[in-house]
Structure 1
Amino acid sequence: MAEAAPGKEEEFRSTNQTAFVVGHTGGTGSALVEELVNRNIFQRVVLIGRRKLDKYEGETYNMLDQKIVDFEQLEDSADEFKGHSVGFACLGTTRAKVGKEGFKRVDHDYMMKVAELAKAGGCRHFSIVSSTGADKNSSLLYNRVKGEVEAECADLGFQRLSIFRPGLLLAEREERRVSEGFFRKLLAPIIYFKPTLLSVPVETVAKAMVNTVLEPCQEPVEIIDNKSIHRLAQGKNSGK
């Protein structure tokens, strides 16, 4: 898949901006970190999470700075969110893994605390990974929580808010999710013949997120659906 034009990357790189990533231990977040390292458009990228990952040690990853935080006391780590022009939030879990209340705490409460600290810290462009079907008025818990986060992030008034709504995320996980495996088998023919319709590899989402940073802002809040994610990853306009 194509990347943005080299001229745009060089121009952005010359501004010496920094970014932070929350949720870098997950599939999408991990792919995003690799994309950021490979593209090298930021002077420094801070990874904010519960634990330090040894795989990011070494010269290849010398642009990364890992910060350990307690999400239950995230305000104590407010300084880690200061001074970054761009923030990426890929945080998320599942109800099956942590239960209803645990899901809401991670996908809503933690996400909103990250957003609030990012805004207070001066972040101008905030990008979040949401989901197809996100709707704050939905009767489905997952869709409702994702929709609430989208709406509440918009209310914070970022200079630019990019909301990514991927379909079924395709990734090789160390921890298999039963529901994802079921849907991947069920949708296998559609994924094969119409790869941009209902699913997207996490690497494609990562490319789209980085390419979006390099494009001019059209609207303060932009919702990027699954088809547009595929287009952006190819360096094309997100128009459907």
Structure 2
Amino acid sequence: MGMRSAIVVGGTGLVGSNLVNVLCNSEEYVSVTVIARRKLEFDHPKLTVKIRSFNELEEKDIEFAHEIFCCLGTTRKKAGSKAEFEKVDVEYPLQIASLAKKCAMHFIIISAMGANEKSKVYYNQVKGKLEKELMALELPQLSIVRPSLLVGERKEFRFGEKMGELVLKGVNPLLIGPMKKYRSIEAVQLAMAMKVIALFGKKAPVTIYDSAQLAGLKMPVKKEEPPVSREELFNWDKFKEEELDPIDDEVVFNRNKLQAMQVKNESQQ
């Protein structure tokens, strides 16, 4: 498991930047490639960055990887129009998944908690459309993560999300049982959850993880075997107890039997 390679598409955003950090500092991964539209502020010996326009991605840009993590996403306001928003949140991920179908074992993508193509909320409707079309591609393995409101230090200020973050910070403890999936989730926890899904997630063709599941995913703790004491390592009394019976020379060297065999061989010549 310690010789894995990963591709992260969209490694400059809130989750993507955390994920790149997590993977590069993980003993399980030896190679992490980021495909992004601009340079990263983060650097690491395991890291390779490909600066690409997503409009011009080619098959050669997506090389073999155990996992491809798609962290692309924007807002309608930032995109400027519905068409541009859907280009980033639907067209680009589908294009990348299509290119990756033959060279990646597992495609892991960030969607949204309320993703549903029949939703009356436009954002959730778009995410639902993306999920449906990704499933239709019949990828080797597809994992869809549906986080609630993401919490973390963004490079750009989003007033609506900041206000939601402050509200949910006080409400989170009250959201229990089935309501836990509505709790906000730290971006670094989502990044860690995506790594756990890559290494230990379900092996089904398609798996969807809600926010409550994502918040609870952690790397398994390695069990350390207790050290062997010197007394146990050099337990001479045990060897004495298991000592074999002494060898009977008369049994091993049965001279009469040997002589009989020699006589038999001479008579046959």
Partner of 1:8: none
Aligned to 1:56: 42
1:233 aligns with 2:214: no
The aligned counterpart of 1:169 is 150
Residue among 98, 101, 105 paired with 2:83: 101
- Answer whether contact 1:48 1:68 (CA < 8 A) is retained: yes
The residue identity in structure 2 corresponding to 1:190 is: V
SS at the partner of 2:217? helix
Query: 2: CA distance between counterparts of 1:111 and 1:36?
Result: 21
Q: Which runs of 5+ in 2 are unaligned?
A: 222-269
Report the AA paired with residue 6 of structure 2: A
Q: Following TM superposition, by how much is the alpha carbon of 1:174 offset from its aligned partner in structure 2, in angstroms?
A: 1.9
CA distances 1:69-119 after superposition (whole Å, capped 9, x unpaired): 1111123xx212121121000000001111222111100111111111111
Counterpart of 2:22 in structure 1 is 35
Higher relative contact order by CA 8 Å / sep ≥ 6: 1 or 2? Answer: 1
| 1:55-74 to 2 correspondences below 5 Å | 55-57=41-43, 61-74=44-57
What is the CA-CA distance between 1:186 and the residue it aligns to? 2.9
Deviation per residue, 1:195-228 (Å, 9 max, x gap): 9542100011011110111115342111000000
Query: Does 1:222 find its partner at 2:207?
Result: yes
Matched position secondary structure for 2:208: strand
Larger Rg: 1 or 2? 2
The DSSP-based 3-state class of the residue aligned with 2:65 is coil
Give the 3-state SS of the residue equivalent to 1:233 in structure 2: coil
Hey, what's the Cα distance between the residues in 2 that align with 1:116 and 1:225? 24
Does the aligned pair in 2 maintain the 1:56–1:64 contact within 8 Å?
Answer: no
Q: How many residues align?
A: 216
The percent identity for this pair of structures is 37
Query: Does 2:160 correspond to 1:179?
Result: yes
In the alignment, the residues of structure 2 paired with residue 144 and residue 110 of structure 1 have an alpha-carbon distance, to the nearest angstrom, of: 17
Q: Partner letter of residue 74 of structure 1?
A: L
Q: Shift of residue 235 of structure 1? A: 4.5
Is the 1:205–1:233 contact (alpha carbons within 8 Å) kept by the matching residues of 2? Answer: no
1:208 & 1:184 partners in 2: Cα distance?
Answer: 20
